Amino acid sequence: MVVLVIAEHDNASLKAVTLNTVTAAAQCGAVSGSNVHILVAGSGCGAVAEQAAKVAGVAKVLVADAPQFADGLAENVAEQILAVAGNYSHILAPASAYGKNVLPRVAAKLDVAQISEITKVDSPDTFERPIYAGNAIATVQSTDNVKVITVRGTGFDAAAAEGGSAAVETVAAVADSGKSSFVGRELAKSDRPELTGAKVVVSGGRGMGSGDNFKILEPLADKLGAAMGASRAAVDAGYVPNDWQVGQTGKIVAPQLYIAVGISGAIQHLAGMKDSKTIVAINKDPEAPIFSVADYALVGDLFEVVPQLVEALG
């Protein structure tokens, strides 16, 4: 039983969520002692292949290096996966925008059911995934010959980035499908850590009152080296950009420390952050649902509490 992981990368470095996916892949074949292979499809992606080869637990890295993979177009990457799929019992990718774009195409072409956003591997054919905004966990068993799976990174520890010595093998690149073309990309730029990979996240909600008031959180985030996030209510109100949104319809995070400020705690938001290791909630409403998942609760006016917290941090 050999498991294939689809690497997410930017042609220069391996995305951290790929390491979580490798852990899930190893568990998929734990019973039979499977090998884990990584497919790197990109352009000028030699550095990524070198990083992937060092990941602990990886036996082989397949590299498809061609211009048509430069921008990660799903049609081309899916065809490359299909070209090598016959050798694998499981095909896994991160449950990111990239993985969610590519793997459904692969599953459709293989005529199998995709299993989405798993958080636990019970056995090589049985997996757990959250449903109903995380309020229930479904146990799914697949009888398909090939299991096509997206992995929620927050459900698995990251594999060690160093310590492996996998063989690197070049595979023939498939031709450009011609079905899509890359037009452009607008990237949000920030000096802060990337939200889904940050160890500390400071999030604000509707209780912030305005976009200008989010500046109150900046000194706290600066002190902690934190990424900044927000609830959907704050994003919908136009306080902050969409890419700050944490929740069921936003980004799923599981940092070491999550500080929720002025967030009531709707189930959609809790679904995106309740796996955080330590949760601190600041809200003036003692009955706020956020307190049901908080490890530390501060009941008070955020406009008084946050500056005091910043001062206490020195």
Q: Is the pLDDT of residue 33 over 60?
A: no
In a domain, 189, yes or no: no
Q: Is the pLDDT of residue 197 over 90?
A: no
pTM: 0.86
158/17 same-domain check? yes
Q: In this predicted structure, what is the pLDDT of residue 269?
A: 94
Q: In this predicted structure, what is the pLDDT of residue 284?
A: 95
Residue 61 near residue 40 (C-beta atoms within 8 A): yes
Q: In this predicted structure, what is the pLDDT of residue 53?
A: 96
99/137 same-domain check? yes
Residue 148 near residue 39 (C-beta atoms within 8 A): no
pLDDT band with cut points at 50, 70 and 90 for residue 32 = low
56/159 same-domain check? yes
Q: What does the alpha-carbon distance between residue 178 and residue 130 come to, in Å, rounded to a whole number?
A: 36
In a domain, 184, yes or no: no
**Into how many domains does the chain fold?**
2
Q: What does the alpha-carbon distance between residue 11 and residue 42 come to, in Å, rounded to a whole number?
A: 6
Q: In this predicted structure, what is the pLDDT of residue 34?
A: 67
Q: What is the span of the domain harbouring residue 274? A: 195-312
Q: Is the pLDDT of residue 186 over 90?
A: no
pLDDT, average across residues 295-303: 96
